[in-house]
Amino acid sequence: MRIPFGTISVTEKSKILISNILETNRLSSGKYVREFEKKFAELIGVKESVAVSTGTDADALALAVLYDFGANRGDEIIVPALSFVATGNAVLQAGFIPVFVDVDRKTLNIDPAKIEEKITKRTRALMPVHLMGKPADMDSINTIAKKYSLFVIEDAAEAYGAVYKGKNVGTLGDMAAFSLYVAHIISTVEGGIIITDNNDFAEIIRSLRSHGRACKCKSCVLNKVSAYCEKRFSYSNNEDIRFMFERIGFSSKMNELEAAIGLGNLELYEEILSKRRKNLYYLIDKVEKFNPYIVSIEKDAYEEIGPHAFPIIIGEDANFTRTKLTSFMEENGIDTRTLFSSMPTQCPGFNFLGYKLGDFPNSEFIGLNGIHIGIHQDIGTEECDYVIEVIQEFLKENV
């Protein structure tokens, strides 16, 4: 049996939309991107969403909003040490300095008890990551943010469908950033999207994604053939608003073809979410018998986990390596990925920040002993049972 890590659903609706878009030759960001943004916001339950070119850009642009509210380049953003490297990269790309906090090994998420000791006069925001779709401890995080007057930006890249105490992940801070990468529940192949209930934030993000332009309407009439815009020459001294740049920006627009893929995925969202969640919870239950040699995350009563993938962590009592386990799984057709790394101490690109091995013991442990595998909509109970059988066979030979 072969179990690939990810898949993507390209619907008939998407194929029809793509054909129509190609016929019109209007491929850049336009009406289909606007439609995707509107429907995405409705799905999560927020007022505004702004589509961009990647999930990393979604993080970076959400952070760059803070410059309009008093932040300065070189200010600090608190993030978990354990995450996909995009989280740390985005902070740097936005012009800030990432300040890392260790995670709770059981949840894989930032440990709120360790946040306050990292807050300084230069701290501007907390960016919790809902890793593997498991909600971070947002009550504690928001309490700390309120105490120190900090913004909260959720990195919800993997957390589609996650619910925390009755509220959708993505609605628990000032802004949230999702990835629309090919392996995610909603995909535009590449892409990202930022959501918020703050209209001012959304307007700034629309400017940021297009080089910082003064032109930042939710829907641009100039995207229509032979359209006239009454605002175009109403800027200061009658300058063309399209070529006035109010802030340092990015080139990060989503195109119409990507939006067409996303619109098709939105129609399948509940079906995909249900299939993935069934697989995730099934595997969480089945893998319990392998404790303490192999463990995973647990589902708490107050939450629903966003079913991105299934994390597997080699326990401290195990006498085998991650490489030995993953080699066995790969030989038996199960596609694996490492469960990320401690960005500041296990990713050489961050060496210049001056952290050293041992600074983030929980993140480093996961970075050495964690993997994750696919639970996507193209597999079911038969494939999940096969995963358990392969792990069981491995443990018989190595415990």
For residue 238, being part of any structural domain is answered with no
Q: DSSP 3-state assignment of 166?
A: coil
Q: What is the pTM of this model?
A: 0.94
Same domain, 168 and 86: yes
Question: Do 275 and 256 reside in the same domain of the chain?
Answer: no
> For residue 255, which of 6, 3, 21 has the smallest C-alpha distance?
21
What pLDDT, on a 0 to 100 scale, did the predictor assign at position 237?
Answer: 75
- CATH number of the domain residue 289 falls in: 3.90.1150.10
Q: Are residues 87 and 176 in the same domain?
A: yes
Residues 254 and 279 in one domain: no
CA–CA distance, 50 with 33 (Å, rounded to integer): 9
Does residue 113 sit in the same domain as residue 92? yes
Give the Cα separation of 289 and 292 in Å (integer). Answer: 8
Quick check: is 156 in a domain?
A: yes
**Band (221; pLDDT cuts 50, 70, 90):** low
Whether pLDDT at 223 is above 70: no
Is residue 205 domain-shared with residue 288, that is, in the same domain?
no
- 185 assigned to some structural domain: yes
Residue 6 included in any domain:
no
Asked, for residue 2, whether it belongs to a domain, the answer is no
In a domain, 4, yes or no: no
Note the pLDDT tens digit of each residue in 375-394: 999 999 999 999 999 999 99
Both 28 and 114 in one domain: the answer is yes
In a domain, 3, yes or no: no
Nearest to 318 by CA among 293, 348, 343: 293
In terms of domains, do 197 and 340 share one? no
Please list the residues that pair with 194 across neighbouring strands.
50, 177
pLDDT tens, residue by residue, 39-70: 999 999 999 999 999 999 999 999 999 999 99
How many structural domains compose the chain? 2
Same domain? For 224 and 329 the reply is no
Range of the domain at 339: 270-398
